[in-house]
Chain A
Amino acid sequence: MKHLLNSAAVALLLTGVSAHANESVLTETAKPEQWAIQTGDYANTRYSELDQINRENVGDLRVAWTFSTGVLRGHEGGPLVVGNMMYVHTPFPNNIFALDLSDNGRIVWRHTPQQDPEVIAVMCCDTVYRGVAYADGMILSHQADTTLVALDAMTGEEKWSVQTGDPAIGETNTATVMPVGDKVLVGVSGGEYGVRGRITAYNLSDGSEAWKAYSTGPDDEMLVNPETTMHLGQPIGADSSLNSWEGDQWKIGGGTTWGWFSYDPDLNLVYYGTGNPSTWNPSQRPGDNRWSMTIMARDVDTGEAKWFYQKTPHDEWDYDGVNENILVDKEIDGQERKLLVNFDRNGFAYTLDRETGELLVAEKFDPAVNWATHVEMDPNSDQYGRPQVVAEYSTAQNGEDTNTEGVCPAALGSKDQQPAAYSPKTGLFYVPTNHVCMDYEPFRVSYTAGQPYVGATLSMYPAPDSHGGMGNFIAWDAVEGEIKWSLPEKFSVWSGALATAGDVVFYGTLEGFLKAVDAETGEELYSFKTPSGIIGNTMTYEHDGKQYIAVLSGVGGWAGIGLAAGLTNPNDGLGAVGGYAALSDYTELGGQLTVFELPG
């Protein structure tokens, strides 16, 4: 606890106020009966100590109550529970409902922001929203139009609001925010519009800007120190980003920040990932395109970067590096280490030392992954830390106007934003995955502000020579770097997982099933079909001494694009058209919260 005290003391000295919000989130997330931020805890484990519902009785689960959100678009994220109140959010227009759990879910207040629908026109891939956060008696919501608003948690009264981006140039938001210390951190979406990624810290007290750190560009705008910001054990050096782009491409070069944040209070570091470089046509942006596709560790007080790790230098496949970083402490080679585990879109699961950024493990978490043979782990190699790209699947080497076939995973990744869970009881990670491959053809595009800036065409299909489904739900050992078990799914698993002390793991499916499986064996213990496909994240809470499981239904998002009409495999020839499952045969649009309980 020494580090925590030190950093808290320093923060106090520097700002005068501070630390209270930090403590409020730490306090509220430490109560197992609550779910105060989207990630469950700062470490992003999505693990709950609640064990009333367990592997023996989960088969008896039943629906306790339901709630319609009134919006029929893709519902990502999940509800929060703080005290007697549940907070439910919707996709655009980002409505929020505060429900009184002690009064049959009576709507205590609702927030219905008026946003210009024009923002929808610049949202890639549906109007999803991964939810609100609680801190310091406030509900924090970052709307699609990049308005960040702080509401009184009890009354819904607006405390302050601030504009964090400009939708006119394609800047939007789909992510949740992370309250840390006396600040709240927000990202930005728009990698397909040439948006320049960054995270911004706002002061929780009044919404004023504290610091802003870009993913690309000059050192001072990235808040890096060329001598002390590290990459794989070496200082990044001066102009590390500018040197890795041709000309001014970095200004419209993406590296957006629409994923999750995690935070280590002892180290006072926040962790997040940056997205794809723009455009999708790699020939238009020679170089490593730093620091797109990068895990970043930054000091929360100053924003200064402690270390970076670029997972996919010079991306050629749209493998955004924004997935959640799960913080766990585990023994490796007889030594207790502070670890960070990341299941990247590119199909590799990385284990790093979160204090130093040292790369410890990088292994494929889907055997179908073929674009790279491995990640070079020899620190003496000039390829250290770099994926070893297979020429056949290199859309850059094959060049513009050439269709590169059979790349696994597809652009939506072996895993997208749908967060994994970690159980300290089993020591395993539970990962919702995609099992989809693609053909990818890059071509030249021109940039117009506020217009899509894509530059490649692609077609996707289930991984060949496999079970025919488009997803798996796997259990992963992050120390050994291997799959413990894998459950085939008909569709991509686009729902965040939940692990509990009851030795049960929960997740949803695109057909709409809420499933419970045994944390040790993966055996299915319970399944219930909700009204619409699930792309929301499962959560749990306790009220009046009783444990509940809750999840949002409402199909959509990236998953709703390719899967509504089903996928086809062009390599299978004409006869295969319609040969793969169409989501529209299984579910319809929806917008509903379903809450489960045990009888009695």
Chain B
Amino acid sequence: MKSITSLSALLLGVSLAGAALAQATGEAPPAEAGAGAAAAVSGAAEAPAATETETAEGEGMADEEEVEVAEGQTLMPSGHDIRAVEMVDGRWVNDEGIPTFNVEDDGTVDFATFNGFRRYHAECHVCHGPDGEGSTYAPALKNSVLRMDYYDFMQVVASGKQSSNSVMPAFGTNKNVWCYIDDIYTYLVAHGTETIPRGRPAQRADKPEEYTAIEDACMSS
């Protein structure tokens, strides 16, 4: 669990100056959540260093700067490569086993990323705005996820974060969020890199059987 300070600044992105702190008080999330998620919460996985160029001190609408992703660039400021190398348990992952999206040449979006769109717009958008674009009081997550390490992202979603009058709730015990957190993450990365546009993905792949099995186990746990 390194670089807590930078993560706080990134995810909350609202008036934090020195006050960045991450709470670790959330209860343990359902065990059946995605492998990466479980690892994040247990602290078992070590992540590559995140760049700390972002300060996000401004308090304003959709205040977080966009991340410029050059044509063909696959390594994000977060240190993660966005290229999908294999499907594990119904979700695409990169070379480090971190969840990522997979979009076919015809625009078909993998099921998990599509589902991330749905879940984001039920659980996250009332603060963070449509399509991760930010609101008048919460940062644009489509940008945060490109700067922020995956494990730090998980930490903040699970345990929440607080700074003056801005509060990110802890979602670690909320199955509607936690069973789909990898999906929400990959959706935001896909949109942040402009691989998919704003709005509902027009075409999606079918739901893999392994995905369904894990989802059912998580939601019924």
* Residues of A in contact with B (beta carbons under 8 Å apart): 71-74, 92-93, 117-118, 120-122, 124-127, 192, 280, 403, 439, 441, 443-446, 448, 451-460, 555-556, 560-562, 564-570, 574, 577-578, 583-584, 588-589
Contact = CB atoms under 8 A, between A and B. Distances in A.
B197 A577 contact: yes
Contacts of A561: 125-127, 129-130, 135-136
B60 A588 contact: yes
B140 to A, nearest CB: 7
A564 B167 contact: no
B133 A124 contact: no
Contacts of A583: 61, 136
B53 interface: no
Nearest to A461: B199
B interface majority secondary structure: loop
Contact of B123 (A441, A454, A566, A578): A454
Classify chain B's interface size. 35 or more
Given A439-B200, A556-B137, A560-B135, A446 B61 contact: no
Contact of A562 (B117, B130, B168, B173): B130
B160 interface: yes
B24 interface: no
5 contacts: A117-B165, A126-B136, A451-B174, A562-B129, A577-B198
A interface majority secondary structure: loop
Interface of B: 59-62, 117-123, 125-127, 129-131, 133-137, 140, 160, 162, 164-171, 173-177, 197-200, 202, 219
A44 B139 CA distance: 37
Nearest to A569: B199
A330 B166 CA distance: 47
Nearest to B121: A457
A452 B176 contact: yes
Given A457-B122, A459-B199, A589-B61, A126 B137 contact: yes
Nearest to B175: A446
Central interface residue in B117, B122, B175, by most chain A CB within 10 Å: B122
A72 B135 CA distance: 13
A565 B167 contact: no
A574 B197 contact: yes
B197 A120 contact: no
Given A127-B165, A451-B171, A565 B199 contact: no
A458 B174 CA distance: 20
Contacts of B173: 448, 451
A239 B84 CA distance: 56
Contact of A92 (B122, B165, B176): B165
